[in-house]
Structure 1
Amino acid sequence: MRTHKGLDMDVILVEILPRLPAKTLIRFKSVCKSLNSVISSRDFVRLYLRHQSLSPSATDKCLILAGHHRINCYQFDQHATTTPTTFVYSKTSRHEELAVIGTSNGLLCIRLIKENFSEFSILNPTTRNYRCIRTLHEELGVGHSYGFGFDHVNLDYIIVVVSDHHNNSAVKTRITSVYSLNKNSWSVVNEIAVAATDTVEAVRRYGVLIDNNLLHWMSWIPELRKHRIGCFDICKNKWTDDVLLPQFYYDLTWQKKIRIVDFGVVDDCLFLTFMDRIEKRDDVWVMKEYGVQESWVRLLSIPDFNCFQIRGGINLVACCQSSDTVLVRLRYSSRLFWHNKVDGGHSEAKFDVAPDFWDNIHAYMCSRSLVHLPGGQLFEHSEALCKSSTDSL
């Protein structure tokens, strides 16, 4: 098949369209039925995701700000600027609060919390599509941790819940349950006995995702007085080897002067934020090569006196690839700042949010996405979602 200028349509569909931004492709869907059918197909979305993973610089980014009662989305560029809100997701009266579990391929997984159980929703802020997930009741235990990712082998989106069931005063059973979007069902994939004092929520309750399928949680082992990073492989449906922390962390001398205050991912690399009690500063270390302990390097160091008179640490949100600027969140004040790694300068990041929205706010980066949610519906069809103040992304 050829176009009127002799260019193979296959070349357009396989080599050109998958390289275009999601915003452009969404507009193309309204050109004609055939283009809409092609761009909406699973094969095309798979091709699109592959191209985006090979050229991450071409991926449009969104900044997600999530509070207990609503979620705002902003266009984010590499020059330390943001544009106004593009959509707002708000809790219903049935739920006490909501939280973002994680992001994968441009999708957000949201946990809707009500008393002793959780409901879940997966949504695409680019296409304004969402799908509600059947409830997982909390009979499995307590101390839940959550994660969200993509099984690229089966083209399936997965929610992971890790919960603890106390057997006696010294031992508890840690249960790993997974939800499959393709199967629309929950299943238990792992049960293991652990010490009652072992807590998987030592640093962060929601899993840290690498390569879309490797979920990480940091737990505290009291008897060893050390943290460990456990990894759950979504594609293999099992726990794998732990990820080693920087070598200096295992030095007893260092352990007396530092404290881990955050653990996450930035630019597809794991990062750790250490608070140096002696030097009174926050150091951010990144693992440049996943799984290689020697690849941990210090990305930046922010003295307390220079970091807006804070105590309690920072959360790294994003690095601007075209500059030396990073976006950081103050751990307990919920304020966000741009910090220059070279000269140490900083300025507050401004967002069009209501004053009460800054309480307990969290920040995430999310790519624009074409991923279609089977059985999903538009935001406007749900009482849980407010209309956008501006046009769709």
Structure 2
Amino acid sequence: MNMQLAKKKKKCITLPSTVVLPHDLIVEVLSYLPVKSLVRFMSVCKSWKTLIYDPTFVKLHLKRSPTRNPLFTLTTYHVPRTLGYYYSVIPYPISRFIENRSFNLSVDPYYSLEDKECSHIVGTCNGLICLSHYSYIDDQFNKEFWLRLWNPATRTISPQFGYFRGFNVFNFKFGYDNSTGKYKVVAFRYHNQKSNVRILSFGDNVWRDIEGLPAVPVHLHFNYHEHAAIGCVYLCGSLNWLAIHNINEYNYKDITVGQFLIVSLELGTETYNQYMLPRRVDGVLSGTPTVSVLGGCLCFSYSYKETDFVIWQMKKFGVEDSWTQFLKISFHNLQVECNFSKPRMMHYFELVPLFLSENGDTPVLTTIGDSNAILYNLSDNRVEQTKFTAARITTSSCSTSNITCWYMAMDFVESLVSTF
């Protein structure tokens, strides 16, 4: 009898059924995860690996990445005891930086460009960092240039591509063509009173000459080629330069704001637009003005009468009437010592906006050549300076001293975008 009851009970025992999540729910959950976790989850099953590689999922994840963990690229400059130099590019959370401005950064050797056969940072876009390198091929200043694409989050890097030979210095800028879904690199220079512009679409690997710039970019006019990256910014499928119209030679103390304009290269059509600066801005400038991107808006910043620093935002890209003054603060309140009369580090005094805190109330600024950044809290007018150092790197060959290049900081997001 007991055996019969036991058999009946055994029959009544049911194993829990396997829970199968709907595909749409899996996609939704995974799209909010960091890249590091997704790379690990590729080994869960073939279907997950296929999903994570899928271009539609990559775009969805990229769309949500800025809201999940906004980053910036922190660039450090390393000078070995032996000849030469190299950079490291470290993605760093903006929120952590805002909360803790005094810390020592231990540089992971992986983020060094020393072993990536590239020496310069072209720019960042959608989680990709474009790198460039050149080498002299003769004693007539002829050079050979090439590029690589690097995704620090997925730890992948492309082979060298985009080879071409050219005379003198070419500067590069990197962006995304929204109309075709292609990434493009623009090579530009100003030589013998003439600009040369070339463009390369990834996948084509062929450089094409396009129309030269209709006005002279400020940083190229001053021959500040090492700072050309901050003289041109990517936004909304376009590259944007602060330029001077129809002026061959000038002293920066003699030029007014009205003589500047924004030159914008539309990457889709590969044609130029020109935008005037705010109409309410007048007077002679002090120092070199610049363009930047803050809070997703194109910005124009300058030093006014050697007393104040001013930032204007173009609230709606391409609409001149949308210029709005974002910030005006005295150098005294910023606790910045400025000298507009003497060249400094081969250029005149220049204060540069870098990025904004997540809530938009704390712009981060720096001066060219300084190893510190300045945080200005708009809500309570509080100014703080970073106390930030990068730890010395020791490799198998030598140890190095390190400098933090704040003026090279750029907004960054982690992504699954392929480098190939």
Work out whether the TM-score is over 0.5.
yes
- 1:137 matched to 2:164? The reply is yes
- 1:262 matched to 2:290? The reply is yes
User: What residue in structure 1 maps to residue 410 of structure 2?
Assistant: 364
Distance 1:327 1:360, change over 3 A: closer
Please list every run of 5 or more consecutive structure 1 residues that lacks an aligned counterpart in the other structure. Answer: 375-393
- 1:88 matched to 2:111? The reply is yes
- Code of the residue aligned with 2:384 in structure 1: it is H
User: What residue in structure 2 maps to residue 292 of structure 1?
Assistant: 319
Select the structure of larger CA radius of gyration: 2
- Code of the residue aligned with 1:109 in structure 2: it is C
Distance 1:248 1:371, change over 3 A: same
Identity rate, percent: 20
Q: Give distance in 2, aligned partners of 1:19 and 1:26.
A: 13
User: What residue in structure 2 maps to residue 155 of structure 1?
Assistant: 181
CA RMSD of aligned residues (A): 3.1
- How far does the alpha carbon of each residue in 1:197-227 deviate from its partner, in whole angstroms, 9 at most, with x for none? 776724851331112x211122223539522
Q: Give distance in 1, aligned partners of 2:40 and 2:125.
A: 22
User: What residue in structure 1 maps to residue 381 of structure 2?
Assistant: 343
- Code of the residue aligned with 2:280 in structure 1: it is F
Secondary structure of 2:382's counterpart equals coil
Distance 1:353 1:296, change over 3 A: farther
User: What residue in structure 1 maps to residue 245 of structure 2?
Assistant: 221
- Code of the residue aligned with 2:203 in structure 1: it is N
User: What residue in structure 1 maps to residue 272 of structure 2?
Assistant: 240
8 Å CA contact retained: 1:64, 1:365: no
- How far does the alpha carbon of each residue in 1:129-149 deviate from its partner, in whole angstroms, 9 at most, with x for none? 11133254343x555332101
Q: Give distance in 2, aligned partners of 1:75 and 1:360.
A: 13
8 Å CA contact retained: 1:28, 1:35: yes
Q: Give distance in 2, aligned partners of 1:50 and 1:111.
A: 27
Distance 1:143 1:110, change over 3 A: same
Distance 1:117 1:219, change over 3 A: farther
Q: Give distance in 1, aligned partners of 2:69 and 2:406.
A: 28
Q: Give distance in 1, aligned partners of 2:87 and 2:111.
A: 7
Shift of 1:120: 1.6
Q: Give distance in 2, aligned partners of 1:11 and 1:241.
A: 43
- Code of the residue aligned with 2:199 in structure 1: it is V
8 Å CA contact retained: 1:65, 1:364: no
Q: Give distance in 1, aligned partners of 2:374 and 2:29.
A: 37
Distance 1:94 1:148, change over 3 A: closer
Q: Give distance in 2, aligned partners of 1:339 and 1:193.
A: 35
- Give the alignment partner of residue 209 of structure 1, picking from 222, 234, 246: 234
Q: Give distance in 2, aligned partners of 1:285 and 1:302.
A: 12
Shift of 1:307: 2.9
Shift of 1:127: 0.9
Q: Give distance in 1, aligned partners of 2:201 and 2:121.
A: 18
Equivalent residues in 2 for 1:183-194 (5 A)?
183=204, 185-192=205-212
TM-score relative to the length of structure 2: 0.73
- Code of the residue aligned with 1:266 in structure 2: it is L
Shift of 1:193: 8.5
Shift of 1:191: 3.2
Secondary structure of 1:205's counterpart equals helix
Please list every run of 5 or more consecutive structure 2 residues that lacks an aligned counterpart in the other structure. Answer: 1-16, 78-84, 137-142, 249-254, 339-348, 393-400
Q: Give distance in 2, aligned partners of 1:135 and 1:162.
A: 14
User: What residue in structure 1 maps to residue 365 of structure 2?
Assistant: 328
- How far does the alpha carbon of each residue in 1:46-102 deviate from its partner, in whole angstroms, 9 at most, with x for none? 2323444xxx4234424331536112314213250468445422336977xx22211
- Give the alignment partner of residue 88 of structure 2, picking from 60, 63, 71: 71
User: What residue in structure 1 maps to residue 343 of structure 2?
Assistant: none
- Code of the residue aligned with 1:77 in structure 2: it is I
Q: Give distance in 2, aligned partners of 1:143 and 1:221.
A: 22
Distance 1:287 1:199, change over 3 A: closer
8 Å CA contact retained: 2:74, 2:404: no
Bigger CA drift: 80-89 or 153-162?
80-89
- Code of the residue aligned with 1:301 in structure 2: it is K
TM-score relative to the length of structure 1: 0.78
- How far does the alpha carbon of each residue in 1:295-321 deviate from its partner, in whole angstroms, 9 at most, with x for none? 222222332223343222321112112
User: What residue in structure 2 maps to residue 309 of structure 1?
Assistant: 336
User: What residue in structure 1 maps to residue 31 of structure 2?
Assistant: 18
Q: How many residues align?
A: 351
- How far does the alpha carbon of each residue in 1:94-134 deviate from its partner, in whole angstroms, 9 at most, with x for none? 77xx2221111011111224343332221011111111332
> Which structure dedicates a bigger proportion of its chain to strand?
1
Distance 1:198 1:143, change over 3 A: farther
User: What residue in structure 2 maps to residue 384 of structure 1?
Assistant: none
